[in-house]
C-alpha cells in the first residue's frame, strides 16, 4: 500500500530516546541540553510588539491576492536586509517559503533529478536525510576537518564530485560544529562550482550569531554560477512559529532566470506562505532590530558561561564555535555510553556524535540554555564526561584541548 519512500521514513526510537521516555514516564523531568529552541530559554520576540505587528498585518491582507514569489513588500524587506551587508539580491530574485526546511526541498527539486547527487558537509544534520529521501536525491558527504577548526576539506570535497553531482550545500555558521566558512574557502568553492557547473546552496540560518566576527562571509558575494541563499525568522528573530523564510537566487544571469522560472511554478503550485506572516515581515525586520541586537549579545554571553564551565575540567576538549548555538566535545571513551550515563545519572539529554555522522567519539550540546541552567547542569555532567566514578577509565595524561 505504501511507497518505498514511506518505508524508509519509518524507524525505531533509538536507545537514548527510549531511556529519556522511561525517565519521563517515571515522573522525572529531563533537561534537554541539545535544544536550540531559545523561546523555551527566556528569549522571545517582545510579545506586545509582535501582537501589534500581527494585528496591523491582518488589516493589510484582508483581501487574498497571492503572489507566487511572495508579497513584494516582504521581498523588498529581505532585499534591504542583504543590501545593508553589501549583498545585492533584488526583490525579484527572492522567493518566500514557510521556512528553511521547505527551502531545501525546493532547492533539491529544482537542481536534481531522482538519483542525482548533492554534496553535504559531514558532520551533518539528520533533517537533511529525510528531505533528500522525499526529494529522491542522494546526499554525498564531504569532510569538515576537526584538526583545522572544522574547516572544509577542499580536496575531499572535490574528490567527492561525480558526473551526477548537481550542487553542494554550505552551512555557515555550521550546525553543530560552529565553523564559519572563511572568505578563502568561499573563493575556492566558487571556483570549484564554476569548473564543475554546480550550484551552491548556502544555509545561513545562524548568520546573526557570530561569536567574534561582525560580518559573515557569504557565497552570494562571490562568483559561483548559481547560489541559493536560505534563511528565515525562526532563528533570526526567535520566531519559529511564524514560519517565514526565503531563498535568495543569485549568480550568472541566465542560470538565475532559469532557476526563478522553475521556482515560480513550484511555489505557485502550493502557495504555502501564510499571508499574515508575509504582511508582518517588513515591520519585524524594522522594529525587531533592537531585540535582535540584545538576542545576539545574550547568545554570546551564554557561550561565555558555557566555556567558563567547560574550561574547569581538563578532560573537556573542544573547538570553540565561531557561530551558532552548539559546541562539539571530543571524548576518549564511548560516546553512546557516556551520553546514556549522563541521562541516567543526571536526567540531562546530550547527543552522541554519531547522530551527526561525526567520527567517534564526541558529544554535541547546546549552550543556548539560560545561564543559570548552564551553571547548574555543567557541574553535574562534567565528572561523567571526565569518566570519574561511572565505570570509565580516567584520562592518564590530561590535555587542555581548547583551540
Q: How does pLDDT run across 290-311, given as a tens digit for each residue?
A: 999 999 999 999 999 999 999 9
**Do the beta carbons of residue 281 and residue 74 sit within 8 Å?**
yes
C-alpha cell at 228: 541559493
CA distance 123 to 151: 11
Backbone φ, ψ for residue 138 (5° rounding): -110, 125
**Do the beta carbons of residue 134 and residue 5 sit within 8 Å?**
yes
Rounded to an integer, what is the distance from CA 75 to the centroid of its chain?
22
Strand pairing class (348-349; 326-330): unpaired
CA distance 245 to 59: 22
Cα separations in angstroms, 247 against 103, 182, 201, 204, 375: 7, 22, 9, 10, 38
Cα separations in angstroms, 263 against 203, 226, 250, 259, 335: 18, 14, 13, 6, 42
pLDDT value at residue 401: 40
CA distance 360 to 239: 34
Cα separations in angstroms, 159 against 143, 149, 153, 188, 235: 11, 21, 10, 14, 33
Question: Which letter, b or e, does each residue of 178-201 get, where b requires 16 or more Cβ atoms within 10 Å of its Cβ?
Answer: bbbbbeebbebbbebbeeeebbbb
Angle at which helices 371-385 and 335-346 pack, to 10 degrees?
A: 130
Q: Please provide the CATH number assigned to the domain covering 47-286.
A: 3.40.640.10
Start-end of CATH 3.90.1150.10 domains in the chain: 4-43+290-385
pLDDT value at residue 111: 98
Closest CA to 233 of 44, 34, 40, 32: 44
CB atoms within 10 A of CB 115: 9
Q: Please provide the CATH number assigned to the domain covering 4-43+290-385.
A: 3.90.1150.10
CA distance 106 to 104: 5
Rounded to an integer, what is the distance from CA 336 to the centroid of its chain?
23
CA distance 118 to 367: 30
Start-end of CATH 3.40.640.10 domains in the chain: 47-286
pLDDT along the chain (403 residues), means of 10: 79 88 97 96 97 97 95 98 97 98 97 97 91 95 97 98 98 98 98 98 98 94 97 98 98 98 97 97 98 98 97 88 97 94 98 95 97 96 81 39 39
Left, alpha or beta for 368 (phi > 0: left; psi -120 to 50: alpha)? Answer: alpha
C-alpha cell at 209: 550569531
Give the per-residue SS3 of the chain.
CCCHHHHHCCCCCCHHHHHHHHHHHCCCCCEECCCCCHHHCCCCCCHHHHHHHHHHHHHHCCCCCCCCCCCHHHHHHHHHHHHCCCCCCCHHHEEEECCHHHHHHHHHHHHCCCCCEEEEEECCCHHHHHHHHHHCCEEEEEEEEHHHCCEECHHHHHHCCCCCEEEEEEECCCCCCCCCCCHHHHHHHHHHHHHHCCEEEEECCCCCCECCCCCCCCHHHCCCCEEEEEEEHHHHCCCHHHCCEEEEEEECHHHHHHHHHHHHHHHHHHCCCCHHHHHHHHHHHHHCHHHHHHHHHHHHHHHHHHHHHHCCCCCCEECCCCECCEEEEECCCCHHHHHHHHHHHHCEECEEHHHHCCCCCEEEEECCCCHHHHHHHHHHHHHHHCCCCCCCCCCCCCCCCCC
Backbone φ, ψ for residue 195 (5° rounding): -70, -35
CA distance 157 to 144: 9
Query: Which single residue is written with the C-alpha cell 521556512?
Result: 99
pLDDT value at residue 11: 65
pLDDT value at residue 402: 39
Amino acid at each position: 500500500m505504501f511507497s518505498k519512500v514511506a518505508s524508509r521514513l519509518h524507524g525505531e526510537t533509538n536507545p537514548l530516546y527510549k531511556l529519556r521516555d522511561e525517565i519521563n514516564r517515571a515522573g522525572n523531568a529531563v533537561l534537554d541540553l541539545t535544544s536550540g529552541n531559545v523561546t523555551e530559554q527566556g528569549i522571545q520576540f517582545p510579545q506586545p510588539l509582535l501582537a501589534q505587528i500581527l494585528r496591523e498585518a491582518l488589516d493589510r491582507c484582508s483581501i487574498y491576492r497571492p503572489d507566487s514569489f511572495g508579497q513584494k513588500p516582504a521581498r523588498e524587506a529581505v532585499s534591504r536586509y542583504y543590501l545593508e551587508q553589501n549583498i545585492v539580491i533584488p526583490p525579484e530574485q527572492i522567493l518566500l517559503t514557510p521556512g528553511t526546511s521547505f527551502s531545501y526541498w525546493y532547492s533539491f527539486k529544482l537542481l536534481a533529478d531522482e538519483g542525482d547527487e548533492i554534496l553535504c558537509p559531514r558532520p551533518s544534520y539528520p533533517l537533511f536525510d529525510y528531505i533528500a529521501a522525499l526529494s529522491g536525491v542522494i546526499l554525498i558527504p564531504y569532510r569538515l576537518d576537526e584538526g583545522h577548526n572544522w574547516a572544509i576539506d577542499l580536496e575531499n570535497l572535490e574528490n567527492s564530485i561525480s558526473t551526477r553531482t548537481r550542487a553542494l550545500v554550505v552551512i555557515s555558521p555550521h550546525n553543530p560544529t560552529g565553523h564559519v566558512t572563511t572568505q578563502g574557502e568561499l573563493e575556492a568553492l566558487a571556483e570549484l562550482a564554476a569548473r564543475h557547473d554546480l550550484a551552491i546552496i548556502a544555509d545561513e540560518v545562524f548568520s546573526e550569531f557570530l561569536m567574534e566576527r561582525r560580518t559573515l562571509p557569504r557565497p552570494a558575494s562571490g562568483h559561483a554560477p548559481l547560489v541559493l541563499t536560505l534563511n528565515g525568522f525562526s532563528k533570526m528573530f526567535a520566531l519559529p512559529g511564524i514560519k517565514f523564510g526565503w531563498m535568495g537566487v543569485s549568480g550568472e544571469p541566465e542560470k538565475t532566470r532559469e532557476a526563478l522560472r522553475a521556482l515560480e511554478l513550484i511555489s505557485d503550485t502550493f502557495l504555502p506562505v501564510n499571508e499574515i506572516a508575509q504582511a508582518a515581515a517588513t515591520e519585524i525586520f524594522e522594529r525587531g532590530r533592537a531585540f535582535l541586537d540584545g538576542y545576539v549579545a545574550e547568545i554570546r554571553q551564554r557561550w561565555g558561561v558555557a566555556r567558563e564551565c567547560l574550561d574547569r575540567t581538563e578532560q573537556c576538549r573542544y573547538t570553540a564555535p565561531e557561530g551558532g548555538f552548539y559546541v562539539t566535545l571530543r571524548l576518549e571513551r564511548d560516546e553512546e555510553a557516556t551520553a546514556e550515563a549522563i541521562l541516567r545519572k543526571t536526567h540531562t539529554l546530550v547527543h552522541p556524535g554519531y547522530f551527526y555522522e561525526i567520527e567517534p567519539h564526541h558529544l554535541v550540546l547546546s549552550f543556548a540554555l539560560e545561564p543559570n541552567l548552564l551553571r547548574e547542569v555543567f557541574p553535574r555532567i562534567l565528572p561523567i564526561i571526565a569518566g570519574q566514578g561511572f565505570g570509565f577509565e580516567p584520562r592518564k595524561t590530561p590535555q587542555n584541548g581548547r583551540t
